[in-house]
Amino acid sequence: MARHRFIPGFGLTLGFTVFYLSVIVLVPLWFLVLRTTSLSWAQFWAIVVDPRTLASLRLTLLTSFAAAAVNAVMGFLVAWSLVRYQFPGKRAIDAIVDLPFALPTAVSGIALTAIYSSNGWLGSVLEPLGIKVAFTPLGITVALIFIGLPFVVRALQPALEDLDPAVEEAAAILGAGRWQTFLRVILPAVTPALITGFTMAFARAVGEYGSVVFISGNMPLKTEHVSLLIIAKLEQFDYAGATALGSLMLAISFVLLLAINSLQWWTARRYQGN
């Protein structure tokens, strides 16, 4: 579109972006991939199809997806409550939403394990009901929900704050029910932000290790996280094997993120097009 031509700074901002991205992220990651090439394809493939690798990939991706999905729904609700409702303690709640970022991941893992293990505050309530959380995939999901929540809430908060109430009023005046207004007016407007939050929560969950290692129990084939396998390889001074797993995860994350981001651009364009 022609109108974008006269906004200045394209070369400067994009040039800096690409430069900084390359120095901090792309070049170092390239060396990771390069190190993998010291393996033959057969060796690489043997690592990929190892049952332990496959089990941990499945575990990592499924728990990450589940956690991001829970966060998308609950995070929306939390952001909505914080932006739209008045209730006692709102400021305090708003403040602790960032907590999962500030706590070292190991501390989060230890605290969550303490709460959800069979002698913990919640674990002792849930265990008689037949729900085991700590040292199961459910526990990993709990940890990943914890570390991903701020992404969704903080991505949605500005978007919800920026919603023009006039549009909602117009919808209401035109006879739309509250649910209709939500589905047709509010949700489309904040979908890009919601997908951003989901993407970041998911991405972060895929890469999370510090909190997971405490609550997972690390049982082979059951609760072994990909990061643990990478560490296991490093412990044997098998750098190539470790970078192979790292590169594999990198490729998977990249494809998934690209897909979700494309979805986000598509929804953003569709909404703006309306």
Binding to another protein (CB under 8 A) within 102-161 occurs at: 102-108, 110-115, 117-119, 121-122, 134-135, 142, 145-146, 149-150, 154-155, 157-159, 161
| Count of CB atoms situated within 10 Å of the CB of 73 | 12
| Count of CB atoms situated within 10 Å of the CB of 183 | 12
Q: Bin 247: left if φ > 0, else alpha if -120 < ψ < 50, else beta.
A: alpha
Number of residues that bind another protein (CB under 8 A): 137
- The C-alpha atoms of residue 90 and residue 60 are separated, in whole angstroms, by 34
Among 38, 48, 258, 270, binds another protein (CB under 8 A): 258
Among 138, 140, 152, 203, binds another protein (CB under 8 A): 203
Binding to another protein (CB under 8 A) within 10-49 occurs at: 10, 12-14, 16-18, 20-21, 24-29, 31-32, 35
Residue 100 in the binding site for another protein (CB under 8 A): yes
Q: What is the DSSP string of 106-161?
A: HHHHHHHHHHHSTTSTTHHHHGGGT---TTSHHHHHHHHHHHHHHHHHHHHHHHHH
Sign of CA dihedral 260, 58, 62, 25: negative
Q: What is the CA radius of gyration of the chain?
A: 22
Least separation in angstroms between residue 151's CB and another protein is 8
Comparison of 45 and 161: residue with beta carbon closer to another protein: 161
Residue 62 in the binding site for another protein (CB under 8 A): no
Binding to another protein (CB under 8 A) within 167-186 occurs at: 168-169, 172-173, 178, 181
- The C-alpha atoms of residue 228 and residue 42 are separated, in whole angstroms, by 23
Least separation in angstroms between residue 135's CB and another protein is 5
Comparison of 41 and 226: residue with beta carbon closer to another protein: 226
